[in-house]
Structures are given as structure tokens and as C-alpha cells.
Amino acid sequence: MVMSPSQQLDATFAALADPTRRAILARLASGEASVNELAKPFSMSQPAISKHLKVLERAGLISRGQDAQRRPRRLDAKPLKNATGWLEKYRQFWEGSFQRLDVLLDEMKAREKKPALNKREERSR
Amino acid sequence: MVMSPSQQLDATFAALADPTRRAILARLASGEASVNELAKPFSMSQPAISKHLKVLERAGLISRGQDAQRRPRRLDAKPLKNATGWLEKYRQFWEGSFQRLDVLLDEMKAREKKPALNKREERSR
């Protein structure tokens, strides 16, 4: 199945939106592992783990190693690179410069409103 | 509602797993906007957009500006920073050094198997 870059981001972010799947990726970061080895630390049934692995596989985040018996899974990090690329566009915002401007504008608007209110209050006196 | 860091990541990644919600964040990156202004480019009903905004709000990705009439939404980038922080741990993998090692190991294993196969073939001759 060929996915558009947008569909790829959908699949990647959806796959990452689960603590078990993130833990599986963290485990695979230290080397490839079989389904049994992956299931062990999670006190989860193998079918439950297999379901998570399918989501990760469909997102292109894991693939299968060459060993036909163990069928080990290994991390494929390219989708993580693309997801980070998307997020990086917002770096300027979390680094503060843009957000501070927004807050400043709000404060200016709030200050503009107050004198107007005061004038009406004065008139009604 | 106070979320654990893991729940916060769940909510952030789930919120980002949708092209409309990513487009809303991209729009808000150029300045705050009312729900009507946000709905316009998507040819979506206001309730449909409001549903997406609720998901983004629950994830802490947007908040409401001071103007009580327009109730503009604005981008809150902190969860994006945290998500990027999680992804950054995998940078070494997409930069290739670790993945290449995995591929190399697989190639070595594949090469080890081939001579064994050849020996059996020779014997059967």
C-alpha cells in the first residue's frame, strides 16, 4: 500500500499515540527482538502484542529481520524522521518568540478595552 | 484534568494523527483565529470543526484568546516540544548509524547460512 506523505503522518502519529507501542519501539531501539521477547515485559497476550506490532508495521515503524524462524522485528526510524520534520516547523513557537507576541497582543487588547469601559462608567455616573 | 507525561504524549500524538487537525495548527501558526475563520478553508460544518478543536484543546495544543466575543483559538506549542523530545531519542536511528549495523548483521547471518546450504547441496550431489 502506497501512502501519501499526509497519510504516512496520520499512520505514524496514530501508531505513536499508545504507551505500549512507544515502549515496543524503545525496546527495539536496543536491538531486534522476536514477538515472544517483545511480549514478555508487558504481561500481555501474544495476540495483543501482535495487534500492536501490526499497527507499527503498517506505519512502517518496524520491519522483519532475515531470520525466518524467529522473525525478529526491528526498528525502522524513517517515519520518525518525517514526523520530527513536521514538528520542527513549530520549533519557533515553543522556543517562545511567537507565543510571547500573541500574549502581548492579548494584553494590549485587554488594556484597550478597560479605558473604554471606564468612559462608559463615567458617563453613567 | 492533570495528565501524566505518557498520557500527554498519547493525547498529543492522537491529536496530530489527522490532516484537518494538522492543518488547523498550521493555520494557527500564522496567528490566532475564530472558529468561523478556522472552518472556512475546510468546507466543513462548524460542529465538525468544533469537534477537532476539542481534541486539540484537550491535548493542550490550542487555547482561547482573551476576546470574549470572537473566542479566538491560538496555538500552544509546548506539547509539540515534548513530542519532539520523545522523537529526538531516535535521531541516531534515522541518521543511519544503528540501522546500518542491523542491516550488516542480517547480511552476515544470511552469508553464514549460504555456505551451509551449499555444503548440503554438495553432499547430495
| Euclidean distance between CA atoms B107 and A65, whole angstroms | 10
Confidence of residue B123 (pLDDT cuts 50, 70, 90): very low
CB contacts, 8 Å: B98 with chain A: 29, 75, 77
Residues of A with CB under 8 A from a CB of B: 6, 9-14, 16-19, 22, 25-26, 29, 31-32, 65-67, 74-78, 80-81, 83-84, 86-91, 93-94, 98-99, 102, 106-107, 109-110
Q: Which pLDDT tens digit goes with each residue over B93-106?
A: 888 765 566 666 67
Per the structure block, which three cell numbers stand in for A109?
487588547
Residue partners of B54: CB distance under 8 A and separation at least 6:
none
Asked whether the beta carbons of residue B81 and residue A75 sit closer than 8 angstroms, the reply is no
Contact A74, A62 (CB under 8 A): yes
Q: Is the ipTM of this complex over 0.90?
A: no
Give the residue from A25, A84, A99 with the most B CB atoms within 10 Å of its CB, the best one to mutate.
Answer: A84
Q: CA A55 from chain center: how many Å? A: 14
Q: What is the pLDDT along chain A (125 residues), one digit of tens a residue?
A: 689 999 999 999 999 999 999 999 999 999 999 998 999 888 888 899 999 999 999 999 999 977 778 889 999 999 999 999 999 999 988 887 655 666 666 777 777 765 544 444 444 44
Closest-CA residue of B relative to A4 is B19
Q: How far is the C-alpha of B84 from the C-alpha of A78, rounded, in Å?
A: 15
CB-count burial class (<10 Å; 0-12, 13-18, 19+) for B100? exposed
* Chain A CA closest to residue B30: A98
Task: Supply the pTM of this predicted model.
Answer: 0.77
